[in-house]
Amino acid sequence: MVDRDTWQEIMSTVKKHKLRTGLTALGVFWGIFMLVFVLGMGKGLENGVFRGFGERAKNVMYVWPERTSQPYRGFQPGRRPQLRLEDITAIRQNIREVQFIAPRLSIGAQPVYHQDIGDRYEIRGELEDMIRIEALQLHQGRYINALDIENSRKVAILGKRTAEVLFGEKDCIGEYIRIKGVEFRVAGVFGPLQIKPWTEDDLEAIVIPLTTMYRTFGTGERVDYFVCSAAPDVRVSTIEPQVKALLKKRHHVAPDDPQGIGGFNLEAEYQSIVNLFGGIRAFLWFVGIGTLLAGIVGVSNIMLITVKERTKEIGIRKAMGATPGSIINMILAESIAITSVSGYLGLIAGTFIIGGINYLMMANNLEPDNFYNPQVNPSVGLGAIVLLILAGAAAGFIPAMQAARVNPVAALKDE
């Protein structure tokens, strides 16, 4: 469709009207630039908020025991049920939509020493899946594994800050610490994905196998609370009542007791933020497309003027045997070329600036609360290019039709 001659035509008209073409192109450039920039910044805002929210929190629920408020099967109200490890097996067997279940039992402020350095820290008894559910990350070594639990090994995973306090710059993996006078081997270092006021605890806690906790510190075989995650295609809000109902049944809590087994999930909050950003994105697209549309109307206008100016040329071409199709082709090619080139530059500029902001933030370790990793979605870029070609065709359509209708007799009349 676009051969060397067509290009030559386009270049010659563009060169003849540098300013006019430039200003027209600016409209489209700015449209695409704004679209890309605004969407990229929106993405940064979104990433920032969702990061603060915690990647995984969206399909995670918590269950814990609390005092009952109703009598049931001879039990008095005010009793506090005790969650146990067997509850995990029961949940796994009965509720298929649960992906991971991780219990936690904490004992606070226990003396922990490495050689003669030490302090009091929270000790957590856990199973291996906690790090898969909560917003935690492993910095060094490994987390608790199934063998640790089976054999009640005396291994400990240190919170990042605790590791720094006890070992300083030294490598702590394989070293020994004493918890309440019992020796534990350090197997790993963990911390929260993001440091927030409410994740400080994760920096300092020490995690040991739950089974070891039971044997060594005589806590009794209980669990403070469970964290459950729903399978990827399941909404956590659908499994929360199931889990609670099952636990109520197992622990003789009245099925309609609002208390007894407490539960909580962030899905509703998460969903409202998702919806909010959906709305923001739609608005940004609306604004971006609007700006682009203004640019396209500009191109269309200019093309109309161009066709008017070239009436004589079109007449000559028709006399030489140009078919209406070839004339339409010529005008459309010019329109698409102007929009595509300028829009592509806008796309590059927008991507470059978004990338630059991201780079500068990374390089300077800037982590403002609600802004992180602004990015241009590749599909946005691709969409923009398709949009541009369509836009160019749309902008050129009316002028091209006008050109095809040029009457050679009238156009060639010598005045």
Q: By CB under 8 A, name the binding residues for another protein.
A: 3-5, 8, 12-13, 16, 312-313, 315-326, 404, 408-409, 412, 414
Q: Which tokens belong to 92? A: 């796994």
Closest distance of CB 340 from another protein, Å: 22
Looking at the Cβ atoms of 130 and 303, the one nearer to another protein is 303
DSSP labels, 286-350:
HHHHHHHHHHHHHHHHHHHHHHHHTHHHHHHHHHTT--HHHHHHHHHHHHHHHHHHHHHHHHHHH
Looking at the Cβ atoms of 357 and 406, the one nearer to another protein is 406
Q: How many CB atoms lie within 10 A of CB 379?
A: 8
Looking at the Cβ atoms of 323 and 370, the one nearer to another protein is 323
Q: Is residue 34 a contact partner of residue 288, using CB atoms and an 8 Å limit?
A: yes
Closest distance of CB 350 from another protein, Å: 34
What's the CA angle centered on 63, arms 245 and 86, to 5 degrees? 75
List, in sequence order, the alpha helices (H) in 54-84. Answer: none
Looking at the Cβ atoms of 191 and 315, the one nearer to another protein is 315
Looking at the Cβ atoms of 123 and 400, the one nearer to another protein is 400
Looking at the Cβ atoms of 327 and 376, the one nearer to another protein is 327
Closest distance of CB 6 from another protein, Å: 10
Count of alpha carbons within 13 angstroms of residue 259, beta-carbon side: 11
Identify the CA nearest to 56 among candidates 360, 307, 278, 270. Answer: 270
Looking at the Cβ atoms of 197 and 321, the one nearer to another protein is 321
What are the Cα distances from residue 19, in Å, to 15, 16, 294, 302?
A: 9, 9, 18, 12
Q: How far apart are CA 336 and CA 252, in angstroms?
A: 73
What are the Cα distances from residue 198, in Å, to 121, 203, 288, 347?
A: 16, 10, 38, 40
Closest distance of CB 409 from another protein, Å: 5
Looking at the Cβ atoms of 61 and 337, the one nearer to another protein is 337
Closest distance of CB 306 from another protein, Å: 13
Closest distance of CB 327 from another protein, Å: 9
Q: Is residue 391 a contact partner of residue 290, using CB atoms and an 8 Å limit?
A: no
Closest distance of CB 16 from another protein, Å: 7
What are the Cα distances from residue 124, in Å, to 9, 92, 97, 223?
A: 75, 22, 27, 11
Closest distance of CB 8 from another protein, Å: 8
